[in-house]
Amino acid sequence: MASLASRSSQALRAASRRVPRTASKVAPKPANAASYSLLATTRASALSRRTTTFESVRGVKTLDFAGSKEVVYERSDWPLAKLQDYFKNDTLALIGYGSQGHGQGLNARDNGLNVIVGVRENGESWKQALEDGWVPGETLFPIEDAIKRGTIIMNLLSDAAQSATWPRLAPLITKGKTLYFSHGFSVVYKEDTKVIPPKDVDVILVAPKGSGRTVRTLFKEGRGINSSIAVWQDVTGKARERATALGVAIGSGYMYETTFEKEVYSDLYGERGVLMGGIQGMFLAQYKVLRENGHSPSEAFNETVEEATQSLFPLIGEKGFVRSFPPLPIAARAIFTDLAPSPRMDYMYNACSTTARRGALDWAPVFEAANRPIFEKLYKSVRDGTETRKSLEFNGRSTYREDLARELSEIDGQEIWRAGKTVRSLRPDYKP
Ligand SMILES: NC(=O)c1ccc[n+]([C@@H]2O[C@H](COP(=O)([O-])OP(=O)(O)OC[C@H]3O[C@@H](n4cnc5c(N)ncnc54)[C@H](OP(=O)(O)O)[C@@H]3O)[C@@H](O)[C@H]2O)c1
């Protein structure tokens, strides 16, 4: 599929001119996304000093997701001044400073909230927090001290560490505080983790659907990440409101309501599947067969990874696998619409040659049939706690960082990724 990128972008530009605006089912853009960026925080802080009444733009929406109605919360319900007022008596104590601690903590701090960080003294995270400007004794504390000072305890330790530290941290989470997680892991799998929250605190979840680095990057761009929100325990009657406000505080643009259980099942499943484990397995299998059949490393890499990540996957991200109408003349489109109430054509497929489309259409069901039993097995392994127990055992080791690094370096050393380094180095925007 040579020169696909140029052909596809032309095709897409043309296609987007043809596609009618069926915008009612598309989530609207936030009205004032930029006001959550670093720059606008300053303006909003000034505003909050001048006024105590807020113009609330209703952001809660019921949207139609492929025929299912779901409530979506958006940050326009929480103008920055209102957000700062809501949390004016709170101290957000971020416990743990991995990827999420970094992204969520810096965003909440830039949003003008009172944030402190609690991590092991002089560990890796302590050093990282110092680099990010957290000040020992002012905004950076050992874990227990931070919990004592905080009103909202944001437990962003690794999932294994949440379990290991729980016996000493639990007594510090006293009545009136809010307990916050970014994963349902600890409380849903309580038989294994032993994390049982005190009965007299609200327990909520905001789980960004992306890495903490992305949480930070999107925020800095004035955009927001999609997050799931959920309530485990509502003592005050305000737990959902708090979850939504915290979602905005840490940099979410849109928040989708779920339960702790559904969040953790889907998340463990997704990352082991298509998002990470599955994709590495598929890439490697395809690459190896190409190599065994005499293709060069560059050809095998280009045809497996480079074209996927640089051309086709971004197209899926941009418009989805499908779009509302096929690229037909208007008259033909009307007939098509009559025949099928919701005509769908594959957007990414349409950017590719007819040869590619024919083959992909034929082989997609074969891959689905082959993969379905694997996904079923994986989901079962998540639901019955097998994945949780493995994660607790492995990531609970004192050597977890080195052990993970060793296995990841093995992947990095695979020929496919070594070949990829050279391919990437030829990109015009390459940064070493
Ligand atoms: N990363 C993601 O993409 C993502 C996305 C959504 C939700 N989440 C959830 O967010 C939470 C945090 O995840 P993360 O990826 O940011 O962090 P992580 O890398 O899993 O955890 C790192 C933090 O845990 C601390 N830690 C590890 N073992 C410890 C121990 N025995 N005692 C004290 N501290 C310990 C580390 O401190 P040291 O540096 O001192 O070891 C570090 O601050 C998890 O619940 C995760 O499931 C993550």
Residues with active-site annotation: 183
Has residue 11 got a pLDDT over 90? no
Tell me, what DSSP letter sits at residue 107? H
Q: Which residue has the higher pLDDT, 2 or 321?
A: 321
Give the residue from 44, 180, 170, 166 showing the smallest Cα distance to 105.
Answer: 180
105 Cβ below 6 A of ligand 1: no
Distance (Å, whole) CA 195 – CA 118:
19
Sequence ranges of the binding site for Mg(2+): 267, 271, 303, 307
pTM: 0.82
Has residue 57 got a pLDDT over 50? no
Give the residue from 11, 182, 165, 164 showing the smallest Cα distance to 92.
Answer: 182
Q: Read off φ and ψ for residue 305, nearest 5 degrees.
A: -105, -50
Is-contact 306 420, C-beta < 8 A?
yes
pLDDT in tens, 239-267: 999 999 999 999 999 999 999 999 999 99
**Substitution candidate for ligand 1 out of 94, 100, 145, 393 with most atoms within 8 A of CB:** 100
**Mean per-residue pLDDT for 4-31?**
33
- Res. 152 pLDDT band, cuts 50 70 90: very high
Cβ neighbour number for residue 186 with a 10 Å cutoff: 27
Has residue 179 got a pLDDT over 90? yes
Q: What share of the chain is helix, strand, coil (3-state, %, to 5)?
A: 55, 15, 30
Give the residue from 83, 72, 75 showing the smallest Cα distance to 34.
Answer: 75
Cβ neighbour number for residue 320 with a 10 Å cutoff: 13
Distance (Å, whole) CA 91 – CA 176:
12
Is-contact 103 216, C-beta < 8 A?
yes
Q: Where are the beta strands (DSSP E) in 244-321?
A: 252-257
Paired strand residues for 149: none
205 Cβ below 6 A of ligand 1: no
CA distances for 416 relative to 47, 196, 293, angstroms: 53, 44, 15
CA distances for 219 relative to 108, 170, 205, angstroms: 10, 32, 19
CA Rg, the chain, in Å?
24
First to last CA, the chain: 28
123 Cβ below 6 A of ligand 1: yes
Q: What is the mean pLDDT of the chain?
A: 84
Q: Read off φ and ψ for residue 205, nearest 5 degrees.
A: -135, 135
Protein residue with least CA distance to atom 8, ligand 1: 182
* Confidence (pLDDT) at 321: 61
How are beta strands 252-257 and 68-74 bridged, if at all? antiparallel
Distance (Å, whole) CA 432 – CA 430:
6
Task: Dig out the tokens for 98 from the structure.
Answer: 């991995």
- Res. 15 pLDDT band, cuts 50 70 90: very low
Q: At what angle do helices 277-292 and 260-272 cross, to 10 degrees?
A: 10
- Res. 299 pLDDT band, cuts 50 70 90: very high
* Confidence (pLDDT) at 9: 37
Protein residue with least CA distance to atom 3, ligand 1: 211
Is-contact 48 81, C-beta < 8 A?
yes
- Res. 346 pLDDT band, cuts 50 70 90: low
Q: Which residue has the higher pLDDT, 126 or 19?
A: 126
- Res. 199 pLDDT band, cuts 50 70 90: very high
Distance 160 CA to ligand 1 centre (A): 8
349 Cβ below 6 A of ligand 1: no
Task: Dig out the tokens for 352 from the structure.
Answer: 């590719």
**Mean per-residue pLDDT for 51-59?**
44
Distance (Å, whole) CA 117 – CA 98:
11
pLDDT in tens, 71-119: 899 998 899 999 999 999 999 999 999 999 999 999 999 999 999 999 9
- Res. 317 pLDDT band, cuts 50 70 90: confident
